[in-house]
Structure 1
Amino acid sequence: MRRLFSSRPPLGRLRRGWGALIMANRHLRALRIIERERTGGGATDLPAPWPLALVDERTKTYAHGHGPLFHRTFSVRAVDARHDAAELIETLSRDLDAGAPPHVVTFARERGEPGRMLLGDEYRVYMPAPWDGPVRVILRTERSFRFGTLAGHLEAGQIEFRASDVEPGVVDFEIEVWSRAGDRAAELFYRRLVVGREVQAGLWVQFCLGAVRLLEGRREGKVREITRRVPARELDTC
């Protein structure tokens, strides 16, 4: 049951369906503050390999996926921030939901100690259907952390959250995603219908805005989204 319901909203399919509508509405309203760029990609867009110590039979890398790989970054700058980059990442590592749009996505810990994030910890990300999926922490630094997907996730890839101090009171926050459909059914939803990519874009744009809020600063300029598409045929040669 813990894999079907989390202790925080959204609870059950109905709540998650409602969360999808909320997400769509927020995304439409946020389009005016998003600067988008889409280009072709190549071998340089692939994520770093998993640390060997964290690889097991549940590991699901981009090589296990189907179709093209989408390398995406979502970034925002906060000015007049009352907290620095390390404080932001520490806050998120204690409670990932703090930066997430409420009633749309939640991170349920499945392995590890509450209130901290260490290598090997595992979470289940509950998103508007069908984007629930298990992930494992494969990188953790003072100013960043990275997840890798596990078996059962509808995507195959990695995602990294990081922050950097530009100068006192100015912090850059960025989410970098390397994602590929986890199976052929997901490829249809994710690539051909484009729905999955827009759900993902809406979520991470809202997360960037949540980071600005946690920094207690204000957004400078637009949220920048860059998408680089690596064709499947190129992945087979990498």
Structure 2
Amino acid sequence: MSPRPLFTRRPPLGRLRRGWGALIMGARHLRSLPILERHQELGDGTDLPAPWPMALVDERTKTIAQGHGPLFHRTFTVRAVDVRHSAADVVDTLSRDLDRGAPPHVVTFARERGEPGRMLVGDEYRVYMPAPWDGPVRVLARTERSFRFGTLDGHLEAGEIEFRAADVSDGVVDFTIEVWSRAGDRAAELLYGRLGVGREVQAGLWVQFCLGAVRLLEGRREGHVREITRRVPARELDGR
């Protein structure tokens, strides 16, 4: 595999704009802390994600086994009530344009493989982030109410992420983002696993994405955005 490039070739203005957006998102995240309910637990081997479909594994694949340090299994869930749209509606909207749920000027999901306007297994995206690298991902699964990405070579992390929604009752939808991630290399392990900077940036992003999903549902948030983080020691991952 080729080493992860430290810098992309995008124009500096785009990076600076996203950097400014990251500051805005950071401020929003601080303001959202009162509505965030956080739990931390010790994880184990049961926290591993589903394996990649063999047909999607190639030389660019970057699975949990290729990561470094502990695995962080995280879920971010929000309940929307008095909604005007269903769980399938919000997932369909996001599958056609992921930027609809993302904090503006901070993260952009650019399609690199697949047809515009829909999402199919095997499609690829590049997640442009406020950092000196970007995150390539591939669609591993797609259902009416969910889709899942896996990381590719060049991503800061090694892992998977799933976006899903569920109709709880009439006018009530739960939206969840579930993340399984390890640091993609030794440098990232310092920022992500030991210092926790990357994890907090990730939390801020996905909390804001959950709130974006509530807006797309045209409902209102009920209760807190709930975050559960389960840390799985690296020794539990040997040979996985």
Secondary structure of the equivalent of 2:111? strand
AA at the equivalent of 1:174: T
Q: CA deviation at 1:137?
A: 0.2
Secondary structure of the equivalent of 2:204? helix
Q: Counterpart in 2 of 1:107?
A: 109
Q: CA deviation at 1:4?
A: 4.0
Secondary structure of the equivalent of 2:228? strand
CA contact (8 A) 1:4 1:12 kept: no
CA contact (8 A) 1:147 1:159 kept: yes
Secondary structure of the equivalent of 1:200? helix
- 1:5-20 paired onto structure 2 within 5 Å: 5=10, 12-20=14-22
AA at the equivalent of 1:235: L
AA at the equivalent of 1:32: P
Q: CA deviation at 1:237?
A: 5.2
Equivalent residues, number:
233
AA at the equivalent of 2:232: V
Q: Which one of the candidate residues 134, 138, 141 is aligned to 2:140?
A: 138
- 1:82-93 paired onto structure 2 within 5 Å: 82-93=84-95
- The whole-number CA distance in structure 1 between the counterparts of 2:10 and 2:203 is 24
AA at the equivalent of 2:65: A
Q: Which one of the candidate residues 21, 27, 30 is aligned to 2:29?
A: 27
- The whole-number CA distance in structure 2 between the counterparts of 1:79 and 1:65 is 38
Q: Counterpart in 1 of 2:5?
A: none
Which consecutive residues of structure 1, in runs of 5 or more, have no partner in the other structure?
A: none
Distance 1:85 1:126, change over 3 A: same
| CA RMSD of superposed structures (Å) | 1.4
Write out per-residue CA displacement over residues 171-204 of structure 1, whole angstroms, 9 at most, x where no aligned residue: 0000000000000000011112211000000000
Q: CA deviation at 1:16?
A: 2.2
Q: CA deviation at 1:19?
A: 1.9
AA at the equivalent of 1:121: D
Q: CA deviation at 1:130?
A: 4.4
Runs of 4+ in 1 over 2 A off after TM superposition: 3-6, 10-13
Q: CA deviation at 1:12?
A: 2.7
- 1:1-238 paired onto structure 2 within 5 Å: 4-5=9-10, 12-130=14-132, 132-236=134-238, 238=240
CA contact (8 A) 2:65 2:239 kept: no
- Paired-residue identity, %: 82
Q: CA deviation at 1:83?
A: 0.2
CA contact (8 A) 1:23 1:199 kept: no
Which consecutive residues of structure 2, in runs of 5 or more, have no partner in the other structure?
A: 1-7
AA at the equivalent of 1:198: E
- The whole-number CA distance in structure 2 between the counterparts of 1:73 and 1:4 is 33
Q: TM-score, normalised on structure 2?
A: 0.94
Secondary structure of the equivalent of 1:125? strand
AA at the equivalent of 1:217: G
